Structure 1
């Protein structure tokens, strides 16, 4: 492939990469500011991305991610057999705890909520699948850092304990407990997490659920490694 075509692909991917949960739609000016590209270049690339379903243009002249990305994301999840293996454990955890259960995987320097089952309670920690969160805050983030490149005291502690807890780190009202899902060579496959309102998901409750969470994480890892 000619070098100029490779460069065009890289710029197109850069456009897609600047969208976040906090900024699901962006104007042409905002895209230019975030990518450092000229508006004319973005308009040309965005037109191609739109025609292929990777971007959508609203009536207000703002861009948002298109349905083609959801289709590819669904294929990605199914291709790893994770969907059929992980979701039953999330359902069991929600039934046992009454809280929200999630499965996170590393996404660059962040973490991606790949699967999630929300608590049946109206007061709950609600988050959509596909959300990308930082790894410097929250129980799941600490686990990913510990099994990744984290070398600080918190990461070393999590490695030794083989779990992490957090209270009000990412959201002042949310507590969580997370454990690693490892393959048979102890490589991180993902993180199994329970989270809920701190007023209800107290440390005592988290401690009581930890053994079950670790057992399900081990079973899940063994199945994913089979």
Structure 2
């Protein structure tokens, strides 16, 4: 007879534990020892050992025979690559971009790092443009030019950023493109201080952009941008949409951190949101 208890036992509990272990990895936690895992998850040594060995047997973890520690394995890379290649990340971002484009009237972009650039993986056009003959998706934005890339690179650890960018040639895209490394670093510092980046014609002479970082855990995962045509008349100022842009970035950060939004209700491709706007956690 059922007791009505919702506590998970047996196979379901084992699955939950395995998923908790996989989700515990980040840039600071890169490996587990058996005793560490047992203490962290309140497990017996034998249970922790079986759990780690099972995950290693399926390729999700890799056991180091010398240190007897377990780090992420090739199955994690394969699953992540499959998700990215199947458009998982862009599909996750598109409903958020659609609502932002609808309320602001501007084109919204979500970009992720690609070497010394960020690459646009999702874009939704706004009613006020900009209108272009070529698509935004797959366009590369160089680290030194424009708000879209600055909103990502500014929030990297400075030492990591310098190792990636120092000494690289910087192309000029317009008369407004920052060129000197010290000038670019000053713009990075300004973006961090303000929490956002603004540019006017640095990369595309006809465009103005406002961008903020999107985080995945404790480090930047990309940037969220509103773009408008400098030569078009607008009924409001681009900066009027900064709060909404930050709210949308918080929503994307939550999705990337697996903080689940409300269940989908409508299809964004028909001009509606797929879920109510999240209230960013404090």
Given that 1:138 and 1:176 are in contact with CA atoms closer than 8 Å, whether structure 2 keeps it comes out as yes
CA gap of 1:97–1:74, structure 2 versus 1, over 3 A, is: farther
List gaps (5 residues or longer) in structure 2: 1-80, 163-183, 259-282
State how far apart, in whole Å, the 2-side matches of 1:86 and 1:200 are.
27
Distance 1:123 1:163, change over 3 A: closer
**1:121: Cα distance to partner?**
4.8
* Matched residue, 2:228: 196
CA distance in 1, matches of 2:100, 2:123: 11
Report the alpha carbon displacement of residue 152 of structure 1 after superposing the two structures with TM: 1.4
Measured at CA, do residues 155 and 135 of structure 1 come closer, stay the same or move farther in structure 2, by a change above 3 Å? same
TM-score normalized by structure 2? 0.49
3-state SS in 1 of match to 2:202: coil
2:155 is the counterpart of 1:155: no
Q: TM-score, normalised by structure 1?
A: 0.60
1:50-199 to structure 2, matched below 5 A, reads 76-78=84-86, 81-121=88-128, 123-124=130-131, 127-148=135-156, 149=161, 152-185=185-218, 187-199=219-231
| CA shift for structure 1 position 141 | 1.4
**Aligned residue among 218, 234, 238 for 1:206:** 238
Kept after mapping to 1: 8 A contact 2:105/2:129 = no
**Corresponding residue for residue 12 of structure 1:** none
- Name which one, 1 or 2, has greater alpha-carbon Rg: 2
Structure 2 CA distance, aligned partners of 1:131 and 1:183? 22
Deviations 1:43-79 (Å, cap 9, x if unpaired)? xxxxxxxxxxxxxxxxxxxxxxxxxxxxxx9852547
2-structure distance, mates of 1:74, 1:191: 22
Unmatched runs of 5 consecutive residues or more in structure 1: 1-72
CA distance change for structure 1 residues 177 and 123 in 2, over 3 Å: closer, same or farther?
closer
CA contact (8 A) 2:106 2:227 kept: yes
